[in-house]
Amino acid sequence: MDFRLTPEQEQLVAAATRLATDRFAPRAFTWSSFPWENAKILAEAGFTGITIPASDGGQGGSLLDAVLVMEAVSKVCPHSGDAVQATNFGAIRQVAAFGSDRVKREVLPALLGGEALVSVGMSEPEAGSALTELTTAARYDGDDVVLNGQKVWNSHGPEVTHVVVWCRFGPRTRDIGAVVVPVDTPGFTRGPAERYMSGEQHCALYLDGCRVPGEYVLADSDALRRMMTIFGVERVGNAVRALALAQAAFDQAVEHAKVRKQFGRRLCEFQGIQWKFADMRMQLDAARMLVYRAACNADQTGVPDPAEVSVAKAYANEAAFMVTNQALQVFGASGYSTEFPLEYLARRVRGWMIAGGSVEMQRNRIAEAVFGERFSQRAPEPSTS
């Protein structure tokens, strides 16, 4: 076990930091929509599809490489982290892992080039944490598949070009699968653009007799476990972004505490402030190690371990919430002002405690690993006796 990065990984971090500082920093914190031009810059720099095999147009790198790039970029420009997420960790991984030759030919190159954007359509009005209650239906019709249903909370929904729609091909849990749907497919419509508390856009999606080629089906049976395992990569992305934004807030607060004076002393001379920083540092270190562990072990075994991912995500989400909140406090009123980035960092990390599976659902998963037992969350069937 060696906790230091290799020289190659150090170089990767330096290259990603340089790119973010030179190209993304000037517009950081000003985006109100998906940063398309930064996605293209990432593609040109070889920072998209980092974990996707070179044979599919990716970089053939490791999940830890992707994590390091995400951390470096998001620290400088959180919105550019959206582009790193979309082109490395999000639904693109489902497309790369399960896509047919046709999907890899027709959809994947544009996603990797930053010219197209895919989101995941999992959540429905009655299926949030209880994902397996999703009702969006898929049925084969000749060479096509036809979809009917509704999705909600779709991140960047107003701007995406494709959606990986999680749907069911039959009544059983084992019938849950996924289909890639281009947004220009007849029968596909979007609800009005709405915004999360962080300002990011989302919208509802409607599928009304939406017909796509059967080759756009990613999975149609016995796939939920495999799909969730790949979704673990999305959760690693979520966790490292939370970590990166918290680190950014921490770094700014350190600099502020070194210069801001009250009572004739710098803030960093007050023990009450020092202990805040000690607590923040402990949380950041622990979160980083858990995220890196989940990524490194995924690189060894080929897939992320679901329990390690849940530990990393829940811990990093809550650490980021705590750290950004304390960093904001150190800035006093300027931390709470919209003129400075602290309040955005605090608002942004809050959402990741819910997105990608809430911290409570991660705890359910961790408890199953602890006890080596699966605990159904469903209400017991009413007794017939």
Ligand X SMILES: Cc1cc2nc3c(=O)[nH]c(=O)nc-3n(C[C@H](O)[C@H](O)[C@H](O)COP(=O)(O)OP(=O)(O)OC[C@H]3O[C@@H](n4cnc5c(N)ncnc54)[C@H](O)[C@@H]3O)c2cc1C
- Residues lying near ligand X in the complex (CB under 6 A): 119-123, 128-129, 153-155, 196, 351, 354-355, 357-358, 360-361, 364, 377
The minimum distance between CB 140 and ligand X, in angstroms, equals: 24
Residue closer to ligand X by CB (options 13, 359) is 359
- 29: tokens are 């914190």
Torsional sign, CA 158, 86, 289, 11: negative
- Burial, 38: exposed, middle or buried (Cβ in 10 Å; 0-12, 13-18, 19+)? buried
The closest of 108, 179, 77 to 137, measured between CA atoms, is 179
**Nearer Cβ to ligand X (99/121):** 121
Residue nearest to ligand X (CB): 128
DSSP 5: P
Nearer to ligand X, 138 or 257 (CB): 138
| CA gap 67, 49 in Å, rounded | 12
Cβ-based nearer residue to ligand X, 148 or 329: 148
Taking the C-alpha atoms of residue 359 and residue 349, their distance in angstroms, rounded to an integer, is 12
Closer Cβ to ligand X, 59 or 362, answer by number: 362
Q: How far is the CB of 317 from ligand X (least distance, A)?
A: 11
Tell the smallest beta-carbon distance from residue 239 to ligand X (Å): 14
Q: Contact at 8 Å (CB) between 165 and 122?
A: no
Measured distance between the N- and C-terminal CA atoms of the chain, rounded to whole angstroms: 57
Nearer to ligand X, 304 or 357 (CB): 357
Both tokens of 147, joined, read: 């979809």
CB of 135 to ligand X, least distance (A): 14
The CB-of-14 to ligand X minimum distance in angstroms stands at 30
- Helices (H), strands (E): how many in the chain? 13, 11
Q: Rounded to the nearest whole angstrom, what is the least distance from the CB of residue 156 to ligand X in the complex? A: 7
